[in-house]
Chains A and B, each alone.
Chain A
Amino acid sequence: MYNHNSILEVQDYSVRRGDFKLDSISLSIKEREIFAVLGKSGAGKTVLLEAIAGFYPSSQGCVLINGTDVRKIPSQRRNIGFVYQDYGLFPNMTVRDNIAYGLKMRKCTRQDIETKTSRIMDLFSISHIASRLPGTISGGECQRTALARALILEPEILLLDEPFAALDYMTKKKMYKEVMKIHEQFTCTILFVTHDFHEAQLLADRVAIILDGQIKVIVDSKNLMQQNYNDEVEIFLGRKDI
C-alpha cells in the first residue's frame, strides 16, 4: 500500500548480487527528510542505494518514487542525484564538463549551462579547479564536484553513498555543513549511507540499521542510542560484546 506522505517508498524489495542478497527491504521516506542507512561494510548499503536509483531491473518487490515504480521511469527522468563513495566523476572530463554534463544531456542552452555551472561552482568553491581533470584534484574537491554535478539538476532525491568516508576530519566537518546547506538551499530529500553512528545521528532525521542485507531497525536519530535492540544490533552498536 503506497503511503501518500512519502516521496520514496521501498516495498518488500529483494535483489541478489552474486553471493549477496538484499532481503525484503521496506522503508518509507518523507519529502525533505534526511534519512541515514547505517551498517557495517558488506551489509548491503550501496546495493540498497543502487536499487533505489533503479539500477537493478530484475528484482522482487518495488521502489516507488512519488508512487511510480522506479523501473518504469526512464533513468533520465527519475530526478535522482547519486554520489558514490569514490565520487563516480567522469575521468575523461574536466570538473566543469562533469558538472555541466546533465545540463548538456537535457539540451539546455549554452548560456544557461554556463550560468548555472559557474554559479554552482562558486557555491561549492571549486571554480579554481574548473578546467582540471578529476584524477588531479583532492578527495574533498572530487566530493564537491560530484555533489555539484548531482545538484545542478535540482533532483528531488539525493542519494549519497558513504559521502564522508574518504575524507579527513577537517574536510569531513566542512562537508557536514555543506550537506546541511544543500538540504536547506536545494529542498531535496537526502538518503545517505554510512557506517559512522555519529554522522548518522548528527545529520539525519531518521536512521535505519542494515545488517546482512536486512533492515533491522528504523528509529529517530535522536533516539538511536537511547533505545534497546536485539543482540545483533546491540553488538553492531558496540554496546554488547560478541
Chain B
Amino acid sequence: MSQSSVVAALPQYAVGEQIGEGGMGVVYGGVHRQLGRPVAIKRLPHAVAEDPRMSERFEHEARLLARLDHPHIVPVYDYVRQQGEHLLVMERLDGGTVWSRFAGDGLTAQQSCGIVLAALSGLHAAHEAGVLHLDVKPKNLLFTSNGVVKVADFGISQVVSEGATLVTHGGAVLGTPAYIAPEQAMGNALTPAADVYATGTMLYELLCGDLPFERGGGPLAMIQKRVYQDPRPLPNVPEPLAGVVMRSIARDPLARYRNAETFAIDLAGAAGHLFGPDWLVRLNAPVHLAPQVSSSSTRRSLRPVERDTVSLTQQPIRATLVDPVPAARLSGSSTLVPAAQVIRPPSSPWLLWLVAAVTLLAMVVVPFLGSGRGLPEVSLNLADPVQEQGNQLVVTLAGIELANVPRGDTGFVLPGATRWIVGGAVTASADGREFLLVSNQTPWLSLMGTGSALLLLFALAYLESNLRALRRRQTGAAAVVAAVPLGLGLGLAVWLLVSVLLKHEPTVPTALTCGVLGAAAALSASLASRRA
C-alpha cells in the first residue's frame, strides 16, 4: 500500500513526507487541515493490519493509549482503521530524539538522569493504565521544541507478539536487542520490570557511552548474553548511582526494581546525593515528577560525595555504539519465530577447563619426575669453602651462572651472597668435571626456596585475579594475553620450588616444559573463564 491510502484514510489531515521508519511501521508528517496542528501519523505494518488477532490487540492498545494523559507521553490524537490501514495520529515532536543528542553533542550525567526520570514518570503512568512499552530506547524518547522528553511507540511489541521477542530465520530480531529484558527475550510473563530493564540499560549507556554487555556476535548473540550473562559493572560512575543502575538491569526480574516509580525514587535520591539537592532546578529541564520521587531528589544526604563525581558531572558523554544491529522488518509473521526457540544457553567450555586441568597437573608432576643427570652430590654449607679438585669452579642454575671462582688457599670460596641465593642443589663444574653442589641449609633460607614459593603464590593470586575479572567481564583480551607470562612464571616457580625441596638438579628442559605447561594451563583457564 502506498501513501495514497493513508491520504484517503485521513481526509482531515494534509499528509506529508515520510519522517521515520522502523521495524514497527512507517511514520509520516502531517498537518490537521482545520486546526493547523502538526502531527505524526504512524502507519502500522501490513502484517499487523492483515492479522485479525493483532488488529484486535492493537485497537485495544490504541484505546488505552488514547486515555493516557501525561506530560512525558506522546499524546495520541486520533486512531483510524479503514480499508486495512491502522493509523495512529500523534503529536509531532521536532526536538529530535535522545539518541540524536547523545550521538551528537553528548549528554552530561545530570541531563541523562533528568531524561530517564522523565521517561520513568511517563512509563509509570502507562504501567498504571495497564500498558507496557517493551521497546524503551533512546530513539523512542523524543524532545518537544521546548525540551520536554516524551516517550513514544508504546505497546507495539505487545500488539505484534504479545510481548515475546520474535526473530527471523536469518537471525534478525524484531525490536531492539540491545535494550531487551531477558524475560522479554525468552517470551516469559512480562511486568513493568521489563521496561525498568530497558530504561536501566539506556541509562547505563547514557552514563558511560557503552552497553552493559560486550558488543559483537549479532542480534541473537546480544539476546543470548542478556539472558545468560550478568551485565558488566558500570565504569566511572560513583555510588550510589552505579548501584541504582546495576539494580535496574539485574537479570532476574525479582532482583530488579518492581516498577518504574521505585526505580525513579532511587535514581532521584542517588542523583540528588551526587549532584546536590537542587540539581533538577539547575538542570533547567522540564521534568514532571511524582511527589515521592521529587522529595527523594531533594532530600539532603549525609553521606560524603565521592571525588570522581566532579568529572562525571562536567563531561558530556557521547554514544560510542552507532546502532550496528540490523533490525527485522515486520513483513509477515509467518517468517518470525519466538526468540526462545532459537536461543540456546552458551555451551560450557568444558574442553578448555579439561585442557587447563590436565596441563596444570602435568606442570606439577613433571618436576617430580625429572631428577637430573645423576651427577655426584657434594653437600655442604655454602658459606664454607668447597673442597674439590680443580682450579676453577663454576656454579650454574639451569645454565645461568651464579658463581665463577678460582681456587683459593682453603678451597673454592664462593661469593658471600651464594648461601642466600642457593637452596637445594645447583650444578657445579670444577675444571669441566660436573657435580651437584647441595646446600645443607634449610631451603627456606635461600632466594631459590623462598623466592620461588612467593613467586608461585603471587602468580597464582594474579591469575585468579585475572580469571575473576574475565568471569565478571571487567576485562577482555588483555587478561587472556597476560595469562601467558603469568602461567610461564607459575610453571617456572613450581619447577624451581620442587627442584629445591627435592634437591634435584634444576635443568633447562624441565624448566621449559613446566613453563610451557603453566602458560598453556593459564591460557586455557582464561579462555574458559571468558566464555563461561
Question: Does B associate with A?
Answer: no
Chain B residues close to A by CB (< 8 Å):
none
Chain A residues close to B by CB (< 8 Å):
none
